[in-house]
Amino acid sequence: WCPMSIDSFAELALSPRLQQPLRELGYAAPTPIQASAIPVILAGRDLMAGAQTGTGKTAAFVLPLLEQLLQQPQAEPRPIRALVLVPTRELATQVNAALQGVAEALGLRTLTLCGGVPQEQQQAELALGPQLLVATPGRLRDLLAQRRLGLSNLRTLVLDEADRLLEMGFWPDIQWLLNAMPTERQTLLFSATLPLELESLAIDLLTNPI
Ligand code: AMP
């Protein structure tokens, strides 16, 4: 799929409220993965994207996720609407770092759930009603099994570094987590490589993807 040439953020359908933090971050123009992925995600389509770390792939899904959250009514209590699954704690921290400042400025709440952090602390943070979670599959599965949170209002699922999620043996956890989510949702898969096994798993996971 070839995007039309997009060389400024103003050409992407992102609210002015999102454009301002981009200027503050010093992002002058979208990177190729951002120019390709953001319109597809905003259109509500499922997506399979090939992108290495360093290409701006995090903002390629973070920006449209924040845009979608801004468009939703801010009902209380706020349900979890978006989930980003990542293979490692380091990546979770990195994704959250890219997200948190902008999200907070927009009045949106995010939370990182991964191993190595006391569960009590994460439970207290869950009680504050995050709309967007960044999580490793194992810790999220534990918290769901203990009914500490629910994913029945989830709208968008992102698998970041899907090839590493597969390599690291997380697929059974992911299958388990899928059963706790609505089948009607938007699913986005980002991966640096596309091994055959991942391609066949993605066929089940994605609906008519771009
Ligand atoms: P990532 O590929 O998501 O790990 O991003 C790599 C780096 O590129 C991060 O430090 C981002 O802050 C930066 N970045 C992402 N998008 C842009 C952009 N449009 N312009 C300049 N820097 C960017």
Task: Tell me the per-residue pLDDT of 14-61, one tens digit each, with 9 for 90 and over.
Answer: 998 898 888 888 898 999 999 999 999 999 999 999 999 999 999 999
User: Is the CB of residue 55 below 6 angstroms from any atom belonging to ligand 1?
Assistant: yes
Apex CA 33: angle with CA 35 and CA 179, to 5°? Answer: 110
Q: Are 187 and 206 in contact (CB under 8 A)?
A: yes
CA of 51 to the centre of ligand 1 (A): 12
Apex CA 151: angle with CA 149 and CA 152, to 5°? Answer: 120
- The phi-psi region of residue 86 (left if phi > 0; otherwise alpha if psi is between -120 and 50; otherwise beta) is beta
CA of 176 to the centre of ligand 1 (A): 32
pLDDT digits (tens, 9 = 90+) for 124-153: 899 899 999 999 999 999 999 999 999 999
User: Is the CB of residue 27 below 6 angstroms from any atom belonging to ligand 1?
Assistant: yes
Q: Whole-angstrom Cα distance, residue 22 to residue 92? A: 21
User: Is the CB of residue 87 below 6 angstroms from any atom belonging to ligand 1?
Assistant: no
Q: Whole-angstrom Cα distance, residue 149 to residue 145? A: 9
Please report which helix (H) or strand (E) contains residue 16, including its range.
helix 16-25
List of long-range contacts for 92-97, beta carbons under 8 Å, 24+ apart: 92/134, 92/135, 92/136, 94/58, 95/58, 95/62, 95/134, 95/160, 96/134
User: Omega into 77 within 30° of 0, i.e. cis?
Assistant: yes
Q: In this predicted structure, what is the pLDDT of residue 21?
A: 85
User: Is the CB of residue 119 below 6 angstroms from any atom belonging to ligand 1?
Assistant: no
* pTM score, whole prediction: 0.95
Q: Are 40 and 47 in contact (CB under 8 A)?
A: yes
Q: Of 6 and 210, which is predicted with more confidence?
A: 210
User: HSE (CB half, 13 Å, CA atoms) of 74?
Assistant: 7
**Confidence class for position 110, pLDDT limits 50, 70, 90:** very high
| Residue partners of 99: CB distance under 8 A and separation at least 6 | 58, 62, 66, 110, 132, 134
Q: How many CB atoms lie within 10 A of CB 203?
A: 10
User: Is the CB of residue 57 below 6 angstroms from any atom belonging to ligand 1?
Assistant: yes
Q: In this predicted structure, what is the pLDDT of residue 24?
A: 85
Compute the mean pLDDT over every residue in the chain, rounded to the nearest whole number: 92
Q: Which atom of ligand 1 is nearest to the CA of 98?
A: 12
CA of 151 to the centre of ligand 1 (A): 29
Q: Are 30 and 6 in contact (CB under 8 A)?
A: yes
Q: Report whether pLDDT(1) > 70.
A: no
